[in-house]
Amino acid sequence: MEKVRVRFAPSPTGGLHVGGVRTALFNYLFARKHKGDFILRIEDTDQTRYVEGAEQYIFDCLKWCGISPDESPENPGEYGPYRQSERKHLYRKYAEDLVRKGHAYYAFDTPEEIEAMREKLKSEGKGNQQYGYAVRHTMRNSLTLSAEETEALLKINFPHVIRIKMEPNELVVFEDVIRGRIEMDTSSVDDKVLLKADGMPTYHLAVVVDDYLMKISHVLRGEEWLPSAPVHIQLWKYLGWGHQMPKWAHLPLILKPDGNGKLSKRDGERLGFPVFAMHWTDPRTRETVKGFREFGFLPEAFLNLLALLGWNSGTEQEIFSLEELTEQFSLERVHSSGAKFDFEKAKWFNHEWIKRTPASGLLPLVTEIYRERGIENTEAEKMAFVIDLIKDRCTLLPDFWDQGYYFFQRPGSIDVTPIVSKWNEKKDLFFNELIRTLEVMDFWNSANLEHGFKEIAAVNQLKPGELMLPLRIMLVGGKFGPGVFDIAAVLGREETIERIRQGLAELP
């Protein structure tokens, strides 16, 4: 079998969203699984949609996710350039070749003329208002003009496009790896523009030419491309490359959680979750949206949750490393139906990954979060210990702050409401005695702390349970956190005693 070569071909028009990353991931997995190449090609043929920084952003996202391409604009292989804008000169000759063979034609219609044609069809009640076989003989193109007229218009550089000439009433049949046999009537597809008036190819021409030139073996792309597949397939044939046509696989869409359509950037803002991999700042509006990374997702978890959106291994395993995904992935097990995105489940994946990641792996990320909030003196050994103590309670990375900041800084305020009503003099006496005991305690560790605490409680005929919550609140400020003696052990003698003193001061 020929070498597997797949490509992720995004258009650099903004943030890279979950659907895009998943397409990239599936391409990556498929390539790795078959010891093939994973290529990144930038589809920037629409100059009106150029967005500053969007291309670099794509590189960065893939890097963060850990699925960097083997060939890309940054890291070219032998099939470059990898930016379609830099391949502009390649396309025209293929389009003209098609004109020569009678599979395409020059069209000189202005946008207004096309618009008028559509209006006319609409008013006649025609369901199909496409520029296609039914109307092309009424338009201004090289099919209706004489050869001389066409030649003359071309000579004066009259604005024109090249359109594919779709033969009607042909059945295009192809095998989709995910969906099986698919049939479409060519009559339902229009004469797509192949080469635009500015000389740039449209997606349809560029994708076929580049996939051919780059020796792409499998096209894995979103389902939104399914309706234009017949155009691409005809192009492969018309160009004379039919025998080298890649295998097709159209991936299911990722849908909004509440139904109605593809997941979009707006849904994230509306529903309060990220849809981009990383934060994206629109260069025009300066508006920034947070991505999965900024919400506190681990890249491993992000990839994991994306992989399970549309694919599953057929086993009960749900947590997969990239290596495991690579081993087990197969297109045959990709669904054909769309999946609604569920942020709750996404968070669960991250929680699982946090629980499984050793403190050493979390350390730089958590340290950075503390630094952002003004705490620099996070000694690594202590922080690693704290991470292990609290990571079961952390779903997203910023939770490490809420669950652990009090190890590094006194709580700004403490909430005594859960204990104040049951507070009494006996308890007050107990804590004063506890302070005296702590001051002279030999080995400051969790077990000794607990032992000493319970001993004093017993002597005073108090139940430890009624005392532990007050201690907790004095130390951390509220009803949360790991074992209270573990907390005191980390805090150290002086700090523990000081916090008890301050706590006592707030109680009657």
Residues noted as catalytic: 265
CA 374, 376, 379, 383 dihedral sign is positive
Residue 231: Cβ within 10 Å count: 26
Confirm or reject binding of residue 190 to RNA (CB under 7 A).
yes
Cβ-based burial of 372 (10 A; exposed 0-12, middle 13-18, buried ≥19): exposed
Query: 198, 287, 379, 388: which one contacts RNA (CB under 7 A)?
Result: 198
Chain positions 348 to 367 lying near RNA, rule: CB under 7 A, are: 348, 351, 355
Confirm or reject binding of residue 345 to RNA (CB under 7 A).
yes
- Judged by CB under 7 A, the stretch of 125-133, 372-380, 409-417, 419-427 that binds RNA is 125-133
Confirm or reject binding of residue 196 to RNA (CB under 7 A).
yes
Q: For RNA, which is the closer residue by CB, 54 or 286?
A: 54
Chain positions 447 to 486 lying near RNA, rule: CB under 7 A, are: 463-466, 468-469, 472, 479-484
> 394: which 2 tokens?
């952390």
Crossing angle of the two packed helices 380-390 and 359-372, in degrees rounded to 10: 100
Confirm or reject binding of residue 217 to RNA (CB under 7 A).
no
Q: For RNA, which is the closer residue by CB, 321 or 336?
A: 336
- Judged by CB under 7 A, the stretch of 4-12, 55-63, 209-217, 288-296 that binds RNA is 4-12
Confirm or reject binding of residue 177 to RNA (CB under 7 A).
no
Confirm or reject binding of residue 10 to RNA (CB under 7 A).
yes
For residue 439, the minimal CB distance to RNA (Å) is 24
Question: What's the CA gap between 53 and 282, in Å, rounded?
Answer: 9
Q: For RNA, which is the closer residue by CB, 109 or 371?
A: 109
Q: For RNA, which is the closer residue by CB, 380 or 471?
A: 471
- SS3 category, 42: strand
Chain center to CA of 18: 3
Chain positions 385 to 404 lying near RNA, rule: CB under 7 A, are: 392-393
Asked if 13 and 6 touch (Cβ cutoff 8 Å), the reply is no
Which stretches within 137-283 are classed as H helix?
147-155, 203-213, 229-238, 265-271
Going by C-beta distance under 8 Å and a sequence separation of 6 or more, which residues neighbour residue 270? none
For residue 368, the minimal CB distance to RNA (Å) is 22
Confirm or reject binding of residue 19 to RNA (CB under 7 A).
no
Taking CB under 7 A as the rule, which mask of x and - marks residues 229-268 in contact with RNA? -----------------------xx-x-x-xxxx------
- DSSP letter string over 216-252? --EEEEEGGGGGGHHHHHHHHHHTT-GGGPPEEEEEP
Chain positions 97 to 116 lying near RNA, rule: CB under 7 A, are: 109-111, 114
The residue type at 246: P
Cβ-based burial of 97 (10 A; exposed 0-12, middle 13-18, buried ≥19): middle
Confirm or reject binding of residue 332 to RNA (CB under 7 A).
no
Chain positions 40 to 69 lying near RNA, rule: CB under 7 A, are: 43, 45-46, 48-49
Confirm or reject binding of residue 124 to RNA (CB under 7 A).
no
For residue 120, the minimal CB distance to RNA (Å) is 14
Chain positions 141 to 160 lying near RNA, rule: CB under 7 A, are: 159-160
Q: For RNA, which is the closer residue by CB, 113 or 494?
A: 113
Instruction: Read off φ and ψ for residue 127, nearest 5 degrees.
Output: -70, -35
Question: What's the CA gap between 91 and 246, in Å, rounded?
Answer: 19
- Judged by CB under 7 A, the stretch of 142-150, 294-302, 342-350, 420-428 that binds RNA is 342-350
